[in-house]
Amino acid sequence: MKKITWLATFIMLLNVAYAQQVIPLYPAGQIPNAKAEVAEITHTFPAGDKTIRFLVNISTPELTAYLPAKEKANGMAVIICPGGGYSGVAIDHEGHDMAKKMSENGIAGFVLKYRMPKSTIVDNKEFVPLQDAQRALQIVRENAAEWGINPGKVGIAGSSAGGHLASTAGTHYRKTLIDNPKNTNLRPDFMILNYPVISFADSLTHYGSRFNLVGDMPADELGKILADWRTSEEKLKKLPVSEEKKREYSNELQVTPDTPPAFVTHAVDDDVVKVQNAILFVAALQKNKVPVETFFYANGGHGYGMDNPTSEVDWIDSCIDWLLRLKN
């Protein structure tokens, strides 16, 4: 009998169920840059009438697939990167909820539970989140036929630091960080950026996201700083970071005419990730004649996911309209 691979097994399950399924990004024992396997921890926080789940210590990355019903599917797919300052992921309101909304509208949603740039868990920490995002793009494209997806309509979305990861995938795709024997296209076809961290410049960045990705400090010392989010930004602001890395991961500086089209949304009063991050990225896209659509709120702050409680209009609806126009 022909041996059935680990991924083929999941594909068969998806074809049968056409529902939520969890797919390992890598075969067991073959996770690149893995240093230590640790117990994943889930923190919960009250947020209005909801509870936010925040996952940390992710050492086994996964994709959770939400495939639309066959009669509704339009061939589009979105890989969704929840945010969390590159210290963890707000997996529900910036991940699963968005994927469900996409699926309801005929778009396959894939929630990416990616590894954090934490030196006690991974080697080459700055590459690991992008490595996982590229692997997610590779898996979706290489299995597009089985999942009813057009491999030329596979995009990436992200909120907050997840927006930095999504915009990095859209601007650094020529830097291949995974084994890619089939030369699968690792460039997302579009980006959806929700209150994104974009710039690593001193005056604009979210210091926690920047230092977690490219900063250099023993993990226990960094953990003490990050333990109190109310003071961590000011403390991290004073720590040196390589000027080369600041520029490399300031994604507004990496836009070219080949950068994928984008939908960018932000609240003007965001006091965690400055709205100028979005504005500079939009300006860079426009300068390079890359199609971009924007949706700015006057109020809403940071971290609301799809549902800004200050507005009766949800950005996600305009975003889906934009996606469906891209499809044609």
CB 255 within 8 A of CB 288: yes
Residue 35 vs residues 26, 60, 96, 136, 138: alpha-carbon distances, Å = 15, 11, 28, 20, 23
| Residue type at position 191 | M
Give me the residues paired with residue 51 across strands.
46
Indicate the burial class of 88 (C-beta count within 10 angstroms; 0-12, 13-18, 19 or more): buried
pTM of the model: 0.92
CATH for 6-327 (3.70.10.10, 3.40.50.1820, 3.40.50.2300, 3.40.640.10): 3.40.50.1820
> What is the structure's pLDDT at 221?
83
> What is the structure's pLDDT at 158?
98
Angstrom distance (rounded) from CA 255 to CA 282? 10
| Residue type at position 263 | F
Spans of all domains in the chain: 6-327
Angstrom distance (rounded) from CA 327 to CA 229? 41
CB 219 within 8 A of CB 254: no
Q: Would you write out the chain's pLDDT as a tens digit for each of its 328 residues?
A: 333 454 554 444 444 344 589 999 999 889 999 998 889 999 998 877 778 899 999 999 999 999 999 999 999 999 999 999 999 999 999 999 999 999 999 999 999 999 999 999 999 999 999 999 999 999 999 999 999 999 999 999 999 999 999 999 999 999 999 999 999 999 999 999 999 999 999 999 999 999 999 998 877 788 888 888 678 888 888 888 999 999 999 999 999 999 999 999 999 999 999 999 999 999 999 999 999 999 999 999 999 999 999 999 999 999 999 999 986 6
> What is the structure's pLDDT at 223?
80
